[in-house]
Structure 1
Amino acid sequence: MNIGWVRSWGASPQSAHDGLGSLDDHPPLAGVTLRQVVRLSGGGHRVRVRFTNEFGTAPVTIGAARVGFAVPGGGVRDARVLTFSGAPSVTVPAGAPVPSDPVELPAAALSELSISLYLPERVETVTCHDPVLDTGWTIPGDAVAAPALPGDASILPVRALLSAVDVLPDEPGSAVVVVGDSRTDGAGSTPDTHHSWPELLAARGAGFVVNQGISGNRMLNDGVGTSVLARFDRDVLATPGLGWVVVSVGGNDIAISCAPRDDGPLADFLKMFPGGPMTTDDVIAGYRQLVARARERGVRVCATTIAPFEGSEAYTPEAELARQVVNEWIRTAGAFDAVLDFDAVWRDPRHPSRIRAEFHSGDHLHGSDAGYRALADSVDLSLFD
């Protein structure tokens, strides 16, 4: 069991240009304060915040930053000044992250933190996570010290320039990192309720659970976000206190490979996804690569089966057949230390290629709050002991 820093919250960085476009019509970030809320999965007595310019094309200056406990409506209490190698501001090079210095902030598991950062200069290319399910705000000027949300604040539609919070726990602990696509990211759940299944798993008492899902993500090729194979070292293996990785990806590789590209409802959407079609053998080979890379670091690996999606625009009979082939391999090949059979949890017993009506958000693809809770409740918490 790890006796040092442990990651308690994370959001995988993306370029604003390869996300879902939520920043396209937003004013430039310049001379503003960003205030964003995160919920810790596990608690500790010291915290440090990881800011990111990893997809930036120019340096980003953080003029001031603070962290405290979130108050409903955008307020903050018990705020601490964040420093960087002892300085109150920092310039983050293009392509780089920067961690803050640690600060004393005793915080229990499931505490909501408010993180504010002031950007005195224009951010040319925003490293972000798109979309965001926790409301954040843009405030004109330097408002990092404001205990209440100023009246001229506006909604920030992405998670911007912020990628992780680590804690120093009171007792040894280790992190479970879930890497996946929109179903991991929590697409379809109610905003500001922390109803992605990794967050619900943490709320059940699973300890440090870090959600590294990206909506629209694939394992083998880039598209919406960098592929899992490409981001695995940064988003998973470099996690402080890493003990387990849960691989919950592959459905988009299958669906996008089987979807017709020349016509149909997804023709324009599919232009975002480069690369040729992937076979089930390709997807299985991708899983094997992730397992091998994790075990080189002494990390245990769990996989989830791919839940059904008939009734969605992504469905084709070819994709359903491929899903069944890959799921059978996940269940029986013995490649993983554990398997979570999410297909069995969500599928309609009367129509196994569809999600049960109460478990999807209306699109036959993403979970409802009840659907994500069913996934979290299906996990034996002793697995990660």
Structure 2
Amino acid sequence: MTGTTNADGWVRSWGASPQAAHDGLGSLDDHPPLADVTLRQVVRLSGGGRRARVRFTNEFGTAPFTIGAARVGLAASAPGAVRPGSERVLTFSGAPAVTVPAGAPILSDPVDLRLPALAELVISLHLPGRVETCTCHDPALDTGWTVPGDAVAATALPANARVLPVRALLSAVDLLPDTPARTVVAVGDSRTDGAGSTPGTHHSWPELLAGRLAPTGYVVNQGISGNRLLHDGIGAAVAARFDRDVLATPGLGHVVLSIGANDIGVSFAPREEHGPLAGFLGMFPGAPVTADDVIAGYRQLIARTHGRGAKVHATTIAPYEGAEIYTAAGDAARQAVNEWVRTSGAFDGVLDFDAVWRDPDRPSRIRADLHCGDHLHGNDAGYRALADAVDLSLFD
């Protein structure tokens, strides 16, 4: 597998793109403040390894916060439980506690822990003080919990745990594999994030792709629901976050761009000052863009990826007729972008998601059995169809 120089051997096995709490879907709005609580979160790895380190994040924080204690361990069968004997204490430059500066991430020290491919890892951290502004990923399709006080050492989930609706203060897990490996990073919007799939089942298409590539494949999902290529809105634009979320990935080998649907959908959506979409469209600032603008954005990301020695592939944009934002003009722009993706030769590979999802009797719509009911996002079967259609030889 081709990719960037990776002299130390680390590869990313799991990730979630950081966002500001106010810049997502609002899932944390009614949650109590994070103060003197333990966060327990479960992540499903892609490829396996023998050592692990965790990347915590305060990248959208307005003040420092302190991690008083942190542990990792393999998940047991009960929700939030840790398999006895697999627990490892995390340290930071040898210390059990650390203060994470505002605007910064922090890596734990590595721990020796044998982690098989597709393992579920439980990550617990105690926050002795208050987190003023939570950097998170919204929503979390895997359940997490908050527990009062310091419960990082508890192997069973305490009875007073409360569901945490976002991925909080946690952005990546890196592993040291037994043999050299490279990571595939999928970057996109809600269709990459897994919106519409069954929570807790790992049915986003990047996670399903990881299952196909296991045990030696490493796939990281850097989708953000509501995200766009060229303008901020729900999450920073892909063009803005690309260096942090994609190009800085340890062991980067391949990038899959699956972005542009919201750029087009929002730009061509019906616009009435007091219409039903007014509030929704207000979440997406910036001037409308054209198919040519999206293509120019792709060209920039291609150049930046190739500059790092990695390969870059693209998915075509799937249909969306039936969704509230649909217009015929928007669909024409979508098809123009897709034609360029398929025929330009600019990408190292093409994943034709449009062809997989479109209804042969009405190509501007998703097949009824593949969307979750909104004509926009996949269901479990829809995301399985996307993952199963990927030519795995692209990642050799």
TM-score normalised by the shorter chain: which range applies?
over 0.9
Match of 1:252 among 255, 262, 268: 262
In the alignment, does 2:316 pair up with 1:305? yes
Secondary structure of the equivalent of 1:17? helix
* Aligned residue type for 1:66: R
Q: Any stretches of 5+ residues in structure 2 without a counterpart?
A: none
In the alignment, does 2:22 pair up with 1:6? no
* Identity within the alignment, %: 77
Secondary structure of the equivalent of 1:155? strand
Residue 265 of structure 1: CA displacement? 2.5
Q: C-alpha separation between the residues in 1 aligned to 2:335 and 2:116? A: 41
Partner of 1:318 in structure 2?
A: 329
Residue 381 of structure 1: CA displacement? 1.2
Partner of 1:238 in structure 2?
A: 248
Aligned ranges 1:101-120 → 2 under 5 Å: 101-120=109-128
Residue 260 of structure 1: CA displacement? 2.8
Match of 1:363 among 357, 374, 383: 374
Aligned ranges 1:77-96 → 2 under 5 Å: 77=83, 78-96=86-104
Partner of 2:210 in structure 1?
A: 202
Instruction: Work out whether residues 270 and 325 of structure 2, in 8 Å CA contact, stay in contact via their aligned partners in 1.
Output: no
Instruction: Work out whether residues 75 and 121 of structure 2, in 8 Å CA contact, stay in contact via their aligned partners in 1.
Output: yes
Match of 2:224 among 210, 214, 221: 214
Partner of 1:70 in structure 2?
A: 75
Q: C-alpha separation between the residues in 2 aligned to 1:265 and 1:353? A: 22
* Aligned residue type for 1:69: L
The CA deviation string for residues 91-150 of structure 1, in whole angstroms up to 9 with x for no partner, is 000000000000001010000000000000110000000000000000000000000011
* Aligned residue type for 1:317: A
Partner of 1:267 in structure 2?
A: 278
Q: C-alpha separation between the residues in 2 aligned to 1:264 and 1:38? A: 40
Secondary structure of the equivalent of 1:294? helix
Deviates more, 1:269-278 or 1:224-233: 269-278
Residue 299 of structure 1: CA displacement? 1.1
Q: C-alpha separation between the residues in 1 aligned to 2:333 and 2:275? A: 20
Partner of 1:21 in structure 2?
A: 26
* Aligned residue type for 1:32: V
Q: C-alpha separation between the residues in 1 aligned to 2:274 and 2:255? A: 37
Secondary structure of the equivalent of 2:393? helix
Aligned ranges 1:280-359 → 2 under 5 Å: 280-359=291-370
* Aligned residue type for 2:147: I
Residue 348 of structure 1: CA displacement? 0.3
Match of 2:152 among 131, 137, 144: 144
* Aligned residue type for 2:106: V
Instruction: Work out whether residues 270 and 327 of structure 2, in 8 Å CA contact, stay in contact via their aligned partners in 1.
Output: no
In the alignment, does 2:65 pair up with 1:57? no
Instruction: Work out whether residues 6 and 169 of structure 1, in 8 Å CA contact, stay in contact via their aligned partners in 2.
Output: yes
* Aligned residue type for 1:148: A
Q: C-alpha separation between the residues in 2 aligned to 1:265 and 1:280? A: 25
In the alignment, does 2:134 pair up with 1:126? yes
Moved over 3 A (4+): none
* Aligned residue type for 2:164: L
Secondary structure of the equivalent of 1:48? strand
Residue 263 of structure 1: CA displacement? 4.0
Instruction: Work out whether residues 260 and 267 of structure 1, in 8 Å CA contact, stay in contact via their aligned partners in 2.
Output: no
The CA deviation string for residues 316-354 of structure 1, in whole angstroms up to 9 with x for no partner, is 111111101110011011110100000000000000000
Partner of 1:227 in structure 2?
A: 237
Residue 170 of structure 1: CA displacement? 0.5
* Aligned residue type for 1:144: V
Q: C-alpha separation between the residues in 1 aligned to 2:269 and 2:116? A: 46
Q: C-alpha separation between the residues in 1 aligned to 2:276 and 2:227? A: 19
Secondary structure of the equivalent of 2:130? coil
Partner of 2:200 in structure 1?
A: 192
Partner of 1:41 in structure 2?
A: 46
* Aligned residue type for 2:228: R
Q: C-alpha separation between the residues in 1 aligned to 2:97 and 2:330? A: 50
Residue 382 of structure 1: CA displacement? 1.6
Residue 83 of structure 1: CA displacement? 0.2
Secondary structure of the equivalent of 1:113? strand
* Aligned residue type for 1:209: V
Q: Any stretches of 5+ residues in structure 1 without a counterpart?
A: none
Q: C-alpha separation between the residues in 2 aligned to 1:174 and 1:142? A: 36
Q: C-alpha separation between the residues in 2 aligned to 1:187 and 1:233? A: 24
Secondary structure of the equivalent of 1:367? coil
Residue 70 of structure 1: CA displacement? 1.2
Q: C-alpha separation between the residues in 1 aligned to 2:187 and 2:141? A: 17
The CA deviation string for residues 148-173 of structure 1, in whole angstroms up to 9 with x for no partner, is 01110000000000000000000110
Aligned-residue Cα RMSD (Å) equals: 0.9
